[in-house]
Structure 1
């Protein structure tokens, strides 16, 4: 099973047929993804289920429905066990960004965290779950596939938000601050924090 977010509403990729209650089901092989996105955005449905009999093909078939944007990002801890957050588009988020040519996804994640926050000395500890969300750019829907990594740093320097990317704040938040930030964040980020 996979979850792809449209805003805060999930599209669930599954092999199981369930009785529809506050969600609607469609067959993955014949679905009109534009119609699904519109339905999620314009109705009070909580979620949509896309069904396919083969669990190994669920994600592969779904990712063919729209252009993909591959990104890398980090959930970064400092020596005080605080988490690094950015504030962009009036929401708290974790630093991430698009992969560039000839760059490993780990290199992307480290580069993007550095660029968006000014934090240096990043070490990847382990991979975290990959997230998927649908966004609209220039009138076209795309799927952002973000590979996340837990990172550590002993950096104690000045944090500097990448303002030309719309980032207005960068902050280290303790557990309480992180939980408060999650009240004004994205569903796919809540999965990680």
Structure 2
């Protein structure tokens, strides 16, 4: 099963569904995706299940339904084990951004973390789960596919938010402050933390 978020509400891609309760079920091949997105945004429906019989092709079929934006980002740890957060659009988030032409996804992730926070000396660690969410830009829905990596740094330099990207704060957060930040974060980020 794959999960794509519309805000904090999930669209689940699956091959089978149990009894319907607080969610709706549609066939993946014939679903009107913009209509489903509007329903999730405007009603109290908690989730949507899109069903198809082929488990291996679920995600591939879904990603063909809207334009894709590919991004890379990092869950960055310092020597004290604190996690690097950014504050943008009224929510705590992890640094990430779109790929540029000719870049590998690893290069994107490192560049975006450095640009958005001014952290230095990043060392790439293990890949983390890829996340998916739907957003609207210039009147069109798109799917953001974010490839995440664990990263480490020993940098003690001053952090600086990338204001032109709408980032107003950059903070290292320990366990307690991370839990507090997650109360005002995105569903995808909660999954990664």
Class of the TM-score when normalised by the shorter of the 2 chains: over 0.9
**1:90-169 pair list within 5 angstroms:** 90-169=90-169
| Shift of residue 28, structure 1, vs aligned partner | 0.1
2:154 partner SS: coil
- Shift of residue 94 of structure 1? 0.1
Match of 1:49 in 2: 49
- The structural deviation recorded for 1:17 is 2.5
Instruction: Give the total of aligned pairs.
Output: 193
- TM-score scaled by structure 1? 0.99
Residue in 1 that maps onto 2:4: 4
Equivalent residue for 1:19? 19
Deviation sequence 1:30-64 (CA, Å, 0-9, x none): 00001100110111010000000000010000000
Post-superposition CA distance 1:72-111 (Å, at most 9, x none) = 0000000000000000001000000000011000000000
Matched, 1:188 2:193: no
Pairwise CA distance, 1:172: 0.2
Q: Normalising to structure 2: TM-score of the pair?
A: 0.99
Structure 1 segments unaligned to the other structure (5+ residues): none
* Residues 130-167 of structure 1, C-alpha deviations (whole Å, 9 max, x = no match): 00000000110000000000000001000000000000
Name the structure 2 match of 1:30. 30
Residue 66 of structure 1: CA displacement?
0.2
Please identify runs of 4+ aligned residues in structure 1 that moved more than 3 A: none
Q: CA shift at 1:18, angstroms?
A: 1.7
Task: Report the aligned-residue RMSD.
Answer: 0.4
Which residue does 1:177 correspond to in 2?
177
